[in-house]
Amino acid sequence: MFLSEEKISHLSHLILNQLKREKGCVFQGDEVQVLREIKKVFSGELKLDEDLDRRVRAKLESYSRRIIEGSSEWNVLYQKTFEEELKKRKRG
């Protein structure tokens, strides 16, 4: 999933506001630092997804038989391959 900086900022503020409402939630540092860290996590996860997406698409394109993007077969293979690549990343 690809998100704009504005959407990342908006979601980060929503998370921060929800955390502030939680009982027992104590921030280490000020809210600006916490907000920066939330945005950093979002950005890191999005970069991982983008990298995995590129890898999966390259793998699907390398098949000897062309699979049409958007077809049910392509969608199933994409999801399966994405999950496999994600598992490899988490192990490594």
Q: What is the mean pLDDT of residues 54-77?
A: 94
- 1-5, 15-19, 48-52, 59-63: least confident range: 1-5
Q: Quick one: pLDDT band at residue 11, thresholds 50, 70, 90?
A: very high
Report the Cα 53 to chain-centroid distance in Å.
10
Is the separation of the CB atoms in 7 and 41 below 8 Å?
Answer: no
Q: Which two tokens stand for residue 32?
A: 């600006």
In angstroms, the CA 42 to CA 24 distance is 23
In angstroms, the CA 39 to CA 64 distance is 40
Q: Among the residues of 1-92, which ranges form H helices?
A: 5-21, 31-61, 72-91
Q: Is the pTM of this model over 0.85?
A: no
